[in-house]
Amino acid sequence: MEKSLRYYLPDASAPEEIGVEQSTDNSSGQGAYQLVREQDVQRVLLPRASFSHKGTYGHALLIAGAAQTMGAALLCAKGCLYAGAGLTTLSIPESGLTALNCSLPEVMYLSRSHISDDLNQYTAIAVGPGLGTGSASHSLLHDLLLMEKAMVLDADALNIMSRYPQLKELIPAGSVLTPHMKEFDRLFGPQQNWFERLQAARSAAEKYQSVIVLKNQYTFIIGTNGKVLINPTGNPAMAQGGMGDVLTGMITAYLAQGLSAEKAAFTGCYVHGKSGDDLAENYFNVSASQVARHIPRVVRQMIK
């Protein structure tokens, strides 16, 4: 690997590339830190089998968007669609419906007032991108958390929990939290450096029995047993708004396809970064939409 990860690790030595599947050591030492390798991702991706149909690949529900940040919802749905969910349903304010139908006709719409009608029909749920942090979003998130269904919690879902810390205690076990550095510090308290932040993330993942995807140039995926996976893909061409919204849609798509929270998280991060890396060979910067659209090609290259 070309990029140095030493800066982020608890001591000066580089992490051992022993693979995700073989990892059992969850001590606080070097063995708790492992790189995600391409073969780890190849092993868990669901093949598109003969005689399969859309029902085989799960049904994702994404609860996102507000008047000024409808784009985040659409980007999240785009990530989910292109990462292969069999069905994608997006719950946005009605004002975004025309934009949805024009930009992503494959994606279905669910009115906010019908979210709780039958959540059991969805194999994965995400909430947060562009949701806003006002009182309606707060009460929507509160109601969702009370349903005790594991979900992907991103962006404004995390920001609301930072403002109302008692909501953290309702995080359903098996969830995936996807904060960037600032969101993480708002949620779990300010940290002096990345080592402290990682230790705080490990404690939080164990406490809430949820996977934490701590986004950065090198994204850390922290499992419920405190194990830290380091994603080696991604590059600065991807530093553009909406990139995290696409990642949330992708992780939700992999959950919908039946992957565990940890596998969906590392698969989403790896493929997301790999799509950006592939595009950066030819583009100086890449948009979140480009990264999403490129996912099927990248996965095809990985699964020959």
Ligand X SMILES: NC(=O)C1=CN([C@@H]2O[C@H](COP(=O)(O)OP(=O)(O)OC[C@H]3O[C@@H](n4cnc5c(N)ncnc54)[C@H](OP(=O)(O)O)[C@@H]3O)[C@@H](O)[C@H]2O)[C@@H](O)CC1
Ligand Y SMILES: Nc1ncnc2c1ncn2[C@@H]1O[C@H](COP(=O)(O)OP(=O)(O)O)[C@@H](O)[C@H]1O
Whose Cβ is closer to ligand X: residue 45's or residue 74's? Answer: 74
User: Among residues 173, 241, 283, 303, which is the contact residue for ligand Y, using CB under 6 A?
Assistant: 241
Count of residues touching ligand Y (by CB under 6 A)? 17
Q: Where are the alpha helices (DSSP H) in the chain?
A: 38-44, 70-82, 97-103, 135-146, 155-163, 181-188, 194-208, 243-256, 261-280, 288-302
- Closest contact distance (angstroms) between CB of 178 and ligand Y is 7
Can residue 238 be called a binding residue for ligand Y (CB under 6 A)?
A: yes
130 binds, among ligand X, ligand Y, none (CB under 5 to 8 A by kind): ligand X
Distance CA(126)–CA(251), nearest Å, equals 9
Contact segment (CB under 6 A) with ligand Y among 21-29, 191-199, 242-250, 254-262 equals: 242-250
Report the length, in residues, of the chain.
Answer: 304
Distance CA(259)–CA(263), nearest Å, equals 6
Whose Cβ is closer to ligand X: residue 44's or residue 66's? Answer: 66
Can residue 267 be called a binding residue for ligand Y (CB under 6 A)?
A: no
Residues with Cβ < 8 Å from 278, sequence gap 6 or more?
A: 294, 297, 298, 301
The string of DSSP letters for 174-226 reads T-EE--BHHHHHHHH---SSHHHHHHHHHHHHHHHT-EEEEBSSS-EEE-TTS
59 binds, among ligand Y, ligand X, none (CB under 5 to 8 A by kind): none
Whose Cβ is closer to ligand X: residue 224's or residue 244's? Answer: 244
User: Which residues ranging from 139 to 178 are in contact with ligand Y (CB under 6 A)?
Assistant: 155
Can residue 189 be called a binding residue for ligand Y (CB under 6 A)?
A: no
Q: Which residue is nearest to ligand X (CB)?
A: 71
Can residue 156 be called a binding residue for ligand X (CB under 6 A)?
A: yes
Query: What residues form DSSP beta bridges with 89?
Result: 61, 108
Cα 236 to chain centroid, rounded:
19
Contacting positions for ligand X (CB under 6 A): 69, 71-72, 129-131, 155-156, 180-183, 215-216, 241-242, 244-245
